[in-house]
């Protein structure tokens, strides 16, 4: 006899509802003012909860940014994987995969650069930080899979090259010199660097 899943209890529903309010409030405030100009108190007030309750869901403002941005980055990766499947050449496929991620990062430049900084230097034991690193791992797996398929690389070589591609994208998005650069300029730089390291 199949097991019928039980509906979430009231306490669990309340927790989920608060998390959604926090995510919505932080997302709107960060988008409007930038992460540096928003306080945790403002987010708590906008979410209609106490600051102490807010810290149960995210201990720092950086964690709140990860909470918000992880959702967007995961969606960007999904779009990139779909776009890459519609290409035939390796370089075109890689750029189709990475373009939505770069676009996501540049919706609000300083938020995007802060997100990358938090991802690298934040507390890896925090759940939202772990989610961000998982998105990076999934991106590298997608790059490696494309390289295995189109360049006939073995898994080890493809994984190593995927890490290099990931580093190129990360540094291109995070570099202070690129802060004023448009998405197209960043993508052009990424493309040139990847083209230089591709086999053959």
pLDDT of residue 70: 96
Distance, in Å, from the CA atom of 4 to the CA atom of 18, rounded to the nearest integer, reads: 26
The mean-pLDDT minimum among 11-25, 63-77, 99-113, 179-193 falls in 11-25
143 and 166 Cβ atoms separated by less than 8 Å: yes
Distance, in Å, from the CA atom of 148 to the CA atom of 125, rounded to the nearest integer, reads: 32
Residue of higher predicted confidence among 62 and 95: 95
pLDDT tens for 71-81 read 999 999 999 99
Length of the chain: 200
pLDDT of residue 6: 56
Q: Does residue 3 surpass a pLDDT of 90? A: no
HEC string for the chain: CCCCCCCCCHHHHHHHHHHHHHHHHHHHHHHHHCHHHCCHHHHHHHHCCCHHHHHHHCCCHHHHHHHHHHHHHHHHHHHHHHHHHCCCCHHHHHHHHHHHHHHHHCCCHHHHHHHHHHHHHCCCCCHHHHHHHHHHHHHHHHHHHHHHHHHCCCHHHHHHHHHHHHHHHHHHHHCHHHCCCCHHHHHHHHHHHHHHHCCC
Residues 143-165 have a mean pLDDT of 97
Residues 136-148 have a mean pLDDT of 97
pLDDT tens for 5-51 read 555 678 888 888 999 999 999 999 999 999 999 999 999 999 999 99
Distance, in Å, from the CA atom of 148 to the CA atom of 158, rounded to the nearest integer, reads: 6
Q: Please name the residues in contact with 108: beta carbons below 8 A apart, sequence gap of 6 or more.
A: 30, 31, 34
Distance, in Å, from the CA atom of 55 to the CA atom of 6, rounded to the nearest integer, reads: 29
């Amino acid at each position: 006899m199949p097991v019928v899943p039980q509906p979430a209890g009231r306490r669990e529903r309340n927790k989920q509802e608060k998390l959604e309010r926090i995510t919505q409030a932080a997302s709107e405030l960060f988008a409007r003012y930038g992460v540096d100009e928003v306080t945790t108190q403002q987010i708590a007030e906008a979410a209609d909860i106490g600051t102490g309750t807010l810290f149960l869901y995210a201990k720092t403002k950086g964690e709140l940014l990860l909470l918000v941005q992880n959702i967007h980055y995961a969606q960007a990766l999904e779009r990139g994987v779909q776009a890459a499947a519609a290409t035939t050449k390796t370089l075109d496929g890689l750029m189709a995969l990475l373009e939505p991620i770069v676009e996501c990062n540049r919706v609000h430049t300083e938020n995007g650069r802060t997100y990358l900084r938090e991802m690298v230097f934040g507390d890896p034991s925090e759940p939202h930080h772990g989610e961000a690193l998982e998105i990076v791992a999934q991106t590298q797996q997608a790059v490696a899979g494309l390289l295995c398929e189109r360049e006939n690389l073995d898994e080890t070589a493809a994984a190593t090259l995927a890490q290099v591609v990931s580093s190129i994208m990360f540094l291109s998005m995070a570099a202070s010199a690129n802060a004023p650069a448009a998405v197209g300029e960043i993508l052009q730089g990424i493309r040139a660097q990847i083209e230089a390291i591709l086999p053959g």
